[in-house]
Amino acid sequence: MLDALTALTRGTRLVYSRGLRRYVFLPILVNLLVYGGMLGYVLGHFGGWLDHWMAMVPEWLAWLSWLIWPLFVVSLVLIVFFTFTLVTHLIAAPFYGFLAARVEMQATGRPPLDDRGLARTVVDAMGRELVKLGYILPRMALLFVLSWIPVLNLIAPLLWAAFSAWMMAITYLDYPMDNNMVSFRDMRRRLKARWWPTLTYGGWVTLITWLPLANLFLLPGAVAAAVLMWERHYRDIEAGTAPGGPLQAR
């Protein structure tokens, strides 16, 4: 049984092996530029954002400021993290989709089912990322609202952690599935059908994204790991085996 950590270890070794190394340099460069720009912006505004949020706490909750302050800090850090993640993946998606296709050819000896050209891959990858945003952003907004509700905001960090694992699973496992003509809806059903590999994989990728600078070099390995996970856990799911109804082809 291929577990998530083993897949990430093998995937990282794979993308830096001969024949695949040249496909990881552009995603790393793109992420580095976005990382540097957003880090500078956040460091320059973080204090002001926090002061603004604390000023909005009603007087009758002032006695809980010792608890509200760290919760706001955690929530703000998570929001910044999700924003950075969404932006970087929106920009790097075409490169990751192309990398996933090359990894699949090398790891399995066969090309993906959907053999698109480079130009079509770029256009479709951007469209797929917009579909992901349409799924993720409303749920992020709901969690953001819960983070402001007294009592409920005590569990908000845990909800953000669980959601981040699910979001990362969707983000990365979608690359090989999109390459193999699996619709976004069907992809989510396949992930739910193998919920434990899905959440453990997403959890490990979330931890990787929190490693400053190192994540830039490890995330391409997460793309390769997604291909290995697709091959081992999700490819063999046939129509009607996933919860919630039959799987449908794109």
Q: Judge whether 249 lies within some domain.
A: no
Domain count, the chain: 1
* pLDDT the model gives residue 120: 64
CA distances from 23 to 9, 16, 87, 96, 179 (A): 18, 9, 20, 9, 16
Range(s) of the domain holding residue 186: 4-54+64-234
**Whole-number Å distance between alpha carbons of 79 and 143:** 10
The answer to whether position 205 is within a domain reads yes
Q: What is residue 33's predicted lDDT score, i.e. its pLDDT?
A: 83
Do the domain assignments include residue 201?
Answer: yes
* Residue 241 resides in a domain: no
State the pLDDT at residue 126: 74
pLDDT at 231: 93
Rounded distance, CA 177 to CA 171, Å? Answer: 11
Angle at 75 between CA 92 and CA 27, to 5 degrees: 10
Helix, strand, coil in percent for the chain, rounding step 5: 80, 0, 20
Unique residue bearing structure tokens 């929530």: 75
DSSP element (H, E) containing 197: helix 195-209
Rounded (10°) CA dihedral 174, 93, 166, 135: -90
pLDDT at 243: 40
Count of CB atoms situated within 10 Å of the CB of 36? 11
Nearest-angstrom CA–CA distance, 94 and 56: 41
The secondary structure of residue 22, as a DSSP letter, is: G
- Residue 170 placed within a domain: yes
In a domain, 240, yes or no: no
User: Cα dihedral sign for 72, 73, 78, 83?
Assistant: positive
The C-alpha atoms of residue 229 and residue 177 are separated, in whole angstroms, by 10
Classify residue 247: in a domain, yes or no.
no
Q: Give me the average pLDDT of each 10-residue run along the chain (250 residues).
A: 90 90 82 79 76 69 65 71 73 83 89 68 75 88 80 79 92 92 93 94 91 82 95 80 40
pLDDT value, residue 66: 64
- Note whether 100 and 227 are within 8 A (CB): yes
| Phi-psi domain of 249 (left: phi exceeds 0; alpha: psi -120 through 50; beta: other) | beta
Residue 83 lies in a domain: yes
